Amino acid sequence: MCTETENSSEAAAFYVRNYRLRFTFKQADVSKQPKRILRGPEPRRCRFCGRGAPEVTFRDVAHAVPELIGNRRLISEYECDTCNRFFGSGIENHFGNWSKPLRLLGGRRGKNGIPTLKGSGPSGWRIERTGNRFEIIAGANEEDRPFTASEDHRVINLALTRDPYEPVAVLKTFVKMALSVMPDDEFANFGETRDWLMDAGTGGQLIQAPCAEWLVATSTPADSFTLHLLTRRPDAPDRVPYAFLMLSCGIQRFQVNIPCPAHDDLVAAEAPIRLLAFPWPDATEDVLHAAEMDLSGTELVTGETISVTYRFETVEVRENGQNP
């Protein structure tokens, strides 16, 4: 995929002629915004395991997008408690580990607040974020710091390590978001994708088109996010994959292909597909990083670091991390 952002009007035209918007949601201001509750047909039946009461219960609040990226307002009624726990104790843990450093940098507030990163020992380094303010405590051990600062402390290079994660579990978390938000008639196209999602094993990969991620310098406001689900128009003139999930949260923008074996026969063909990157309106400037994202791996990834350079407008320096 081409991930440059220069040709945003060409990219916009590409998406308009090939895709339909099947779902869109923006959480902008949690204090004023009512919950959006996604409902399915009655009687209630779980979209993921296909079971209904009394076989399964629907007592817990099922977040259509994980709470850890800040979702408070997008809820689904067709996810049973069993499946909710299956996702929460499985793939979403991997997603949490994978996304933690950038959730910290983007100020994403999960159930337990904004994540903190810290080194080992009581006098180790520590990075915290409150609102728009970063607190970086260097710690006593100079050898063990995941950051370097310019002399005036305005430019900080961070090399943050992700907790161990399985890439395909992260991909499945994105797929689960897409399957959660799509309307019933669209969900009918994704039976094989649902089976793959629910298979706790790592085999049976679905063929996937490229995914992309961007890091931008300016974070979306705390706790806000935007999500779009696009599926191919019946009259799409270009040879393109069937479905994409677009997610904007914090300093991250994602474009994730949602595999759909029922409609993706063209993707499997040999000729390469030409895709344009989604023209995020707020990612046309200050892009720190733009790249294809490969989440196909099934082995646990440990010790992966991501490097980000920050330029701060205001910096306060305290001696040795002591509190005033």
Angstrom distance (rounded) from CA 80 to CA 171? 21
Residues within window 9-48 making contact with Zn ion, judged by CB under 5 A: 46, 48
Contact 173, 94 (CB under 8 A): yes
Spatial CA neighbour of 4 closest among 308, 212, 261: 212
Shortest reach from residue 277's CB to Zn ion, in Å: 35
Which of 63/228 has CB closer to Zn ion? 63
Task: Please give the biggest Cα pair distance in the chain.
Answer: 64
Both tokens assigned to 241: 């994959």
Which of 28/53 has CB closer to Zn ion? 53
Shortest reach from residue 34's CB to Zn ion, in Å: 26
Contact 75, 36 (CB under 8 A): yes
Residue 318 CB: number of other CB atoms within 10 A?
A: 11
Buried residues in 103-140 as b, exposed as e (16+ CB within 10 A)? bbbbbbbbeeebbebebeeeebbebbbeeeebebbbbe
Determine the size of the site formed for Zn ion (CB under 5 A).
Answer: 5
- Residue of this chain nearest to Zn ion (CB atom): 46
Contact 288, 309 (CB under 8 A): yes
Which of 26/51 has CB closer to Zn ion? 51
Q: What is the CA radius of gyration of the chain?
A: 21
Which of 81/238 has CB closer to Zn ion? 81
The answer to whether 156 contacts Zn ion (rule: CB under 5 A) is no
Shortest reach from residue 50's CB to Zn ion, in Å: 7
Which of 38/216 has CB closer to Zn ion? 38
The answer to whether 179 contacts Zn ion (rule: CB under 5 A) is no
Shortest reach from residue 48's CB to Zn ion, in Å: 5
The answer to whether 266 contacts Zn ion (rule: CB under 5 A) is no
Which of 108/176 has CB closer to Zn ion? 176
Shortest reach from residue 77's CB to Zn ion, in Å: 12
Which of 99/193 has CB closer to Zn ion? 193
Shortest reach from residue 87's CB to Zn ion, in Å: 10
For the chain, give the number of residues: 324
Residues within window 92-111 making contact with Zn ion, judged by CB under 5 A: none
Shortest reach from residue 166's CB to Zn ion, in Å: 22
Which of 170/197 has CB closer to Zn ion? 197
Contact 53, 44 (CB under 8 A): yes
Which of 68/83 has CB closer to Zn ion? 83
Member of 12, 49, 273, 288 binding Zn ion (CB under 5 A): 49
- Could you please report the per-residue DSSP string of 120-187? SSTT--EEEEETTEEEEE--S-TTS-SEEE-TTS-EEEEEEEPPPB-HHHHHHHHHHHHHHHS-HHHH
Angstrom distance (rounded) from CA 166 to CA 302? 9
Residues within window 76-95 making contact with Zn ion, judged by CB under 5 A: 80, 83
The answer to whether 62 contacts Zn ion (rule: CB under 5 A) is no
Q: Which stretch binds Zn ion (CB under 5 A): 12-20, 75-83, 106-114, 280-288?
A: 75-83
Spatial CA neighbour of 160 closest among 208, 217, 215, 105: 105
Q: Which stretch binds Zn ion (CB under 5 A): 30-38, 62-70, 74-82, 112-120?
A: 74-82
What residues line the site for Zn ion (CB under 5 A)?
A: 46, 48-49, 80, 83
